[in-house]
Structure 1
Amino acid sequence: MKKASLIMMIGPLFLLGLYTFPLWTIMLGAPQYPDPLGIHIHIDGIRDVNEFDIQNIDGLNHYIGMKTLPKPEEMWEFSTFPMVIGVMIALGVLTGLLGYLKKVNYKWFLGWFVLMSVLGILGMYDFNAWMVDYGTNLDPNAIMKLANPDGTPMTYKPPLFGHTKMLNFDVTSLPATGAWMMFIGMMLTLLAAFIGWKNRKAMSIEKSKIYATS
């Protein structure tokens, strides 16, 4: 159980990377932009991939009626997510420490993984909902009003994951370093739960053998 507990303490610490590295990256490439425009989405705000990218993206979006990219104070998520991640890191390390002291078992490790997974899914749902609003809630007085072939207003929602074509832009949305660090940390906690379960199973088998021979 000690090995599992040590892994459980290490796993959540990978989430500290979210305070430094971006969680997600969206890139926009077009013939008139040899260097693609891009934004890094951090847990506490949106930042340029290259200098002036946000300014240039907002300038392009103005013509089709999209809102400017939100500043940290304009979205509650950017103040809440850092606190949630901090709580989950502390809770994960504490759970591992209690496991090391034999106060809790592997089920608590699994419980942390499940809770973090649920929070991650909710975060992705919220992120996607923001992108839907960002790409469809357009200014009716925009300079350019484009429509689909069926006559419905064109929307500009970036993909949650993968690539899409919007006008003459190739838009790619993919997890960034912070997301991969979070993934590794979560997999370590799942590994800790598995090792804890195997240890408990092995102990149960040993006890059964002792009872059988006594």
Structure 2
Amino acid sequence: MKKAGIIMILGSLLLLGLFKFPLWNIMLGAPQYPDPMGMNIYITGIEGVNEFDIQNIDGLNHYIGMKKIPKPEEMWEFEVFPIVIGGMAALGVIIGILGFFGKLSYKWFLGWLILTSVLGILGMYDFNNWLTEYGTDLDPNAIMKMTHPDGTPMTYKPPLFGHQKMLNFDVDSWPHTGAYMLFAGMALSLIAFFIGKKEWETNN
């Protein structure tokens, strides 16, 4: 399964792009802000798209009682995610090498894909929970207390995926380069599975 093994190795190595490129991006735009503000979310922390975006977003959030954007040391995820991504990349490379030399079945490629998918879903679930807490756990003593027409307090949870209108802000939340590299790596592992299956059946 030489060809399948090489494809599996390449797919696994694409995960390392998450150490360099953002996983996700959230942008906020409003008429009074001609230059939109944004956050790039990495597996190691959150950075502003522009130099002062984090400070500006925190300043706006203060008025409505939202917490400050967390620093890397304030979220366990930023310690665990790099370990998980590095471990999955290393595991995928090992599986690819062993597959290259015919030491294991092509089914291992699919197993790696399934495990990566499960971990990815758990990561997105955790990310969505953080967005929910970030947008709903508001300071009761905030300067501005916005409510719905029925009197219930407004929440400011950014969308996990897509576009949403919050007050006069347009909020967009989409995958970034790191996520696309992850998806590409997973797609390559699926291709490796089918090619490996064909090679396995041909040789056995």
Per the normalisation by structure 1, the TM-score is: 0.94
Separation in 2, partners of 1:186, 1:12: 8
Counterpart position of 1:172: 172
State the structure with more CA Rg. Answer: 1
Identity of aligned residues (%): 71
Matches within 5 A, 1:23-172: 23-172=23-172
Separation in 2, partners of 1:180, 1:109: 19
Once the two structures are superposed, residues 184-204 of structure 1 have per-residue CA deviations (whole angstroms, 9 ceiling, x without a partner) of 011001100011112234446
Separation in 1, partners of 2:29, 2:202: 55
Counterpart position of 1:210: none
Separation in 1, partners of 2:95, 2:202: 22
SS across alignment from 2:78: helix
Separation in 1, partners of 2:131, 2:159: 8
Once the two structures are superposed, residues 6-45 of structure 1 have per-residue CA deviations (whole angstroms, 9 ceiling, x without a partner) of 1011101001110010000000000011110000000000
Once the two structures are superposed, residues 117-175 of structure 1 have per-residue CA deviations (whole angstroms, 9 ceiling, x without a partner) of 00000000000000000000000000000101121110000000000000000000000
Report the residue type matching 1:169 in the other structure.
F
Report the residue type matching 1:119 in the other structure.
L
SS across alignment from 1:160: coil
Counterpart position of 1:181: 181
Separation in 2, partners of 1:184, 1:170: 29
SS across alignment from 1:129: helix
Per the normalisation by structure 2, the TM-score is: 0.98
Separation in 2, partners of 1:201, 1:34: 60
Q: 5+ unaligned residues in a row in structure 2: which ranges?
A: none
Separation in 2, partners of 1:63, 1:37: 17
Separation in 2, partners of 1:105, 1:34: 56
Separation in 2, partners of 1:74, 1:193: 39
Counterpart position of 1:21: 21
Report the residue type matching 1:105 in the other structure.
S
Once the two structures are superposed, residues 47-98 of structure 1 have per-residue CA deviations (whole angstroms, 9 ceiling, x without a partner) of 0100100000000000000000000000000011001111001000000001
Q: 5+ unaligned residues in a row in structure 1: which ranges?
A: 205-214
Note the aligned Cα RMSD (angstroms): 0.8
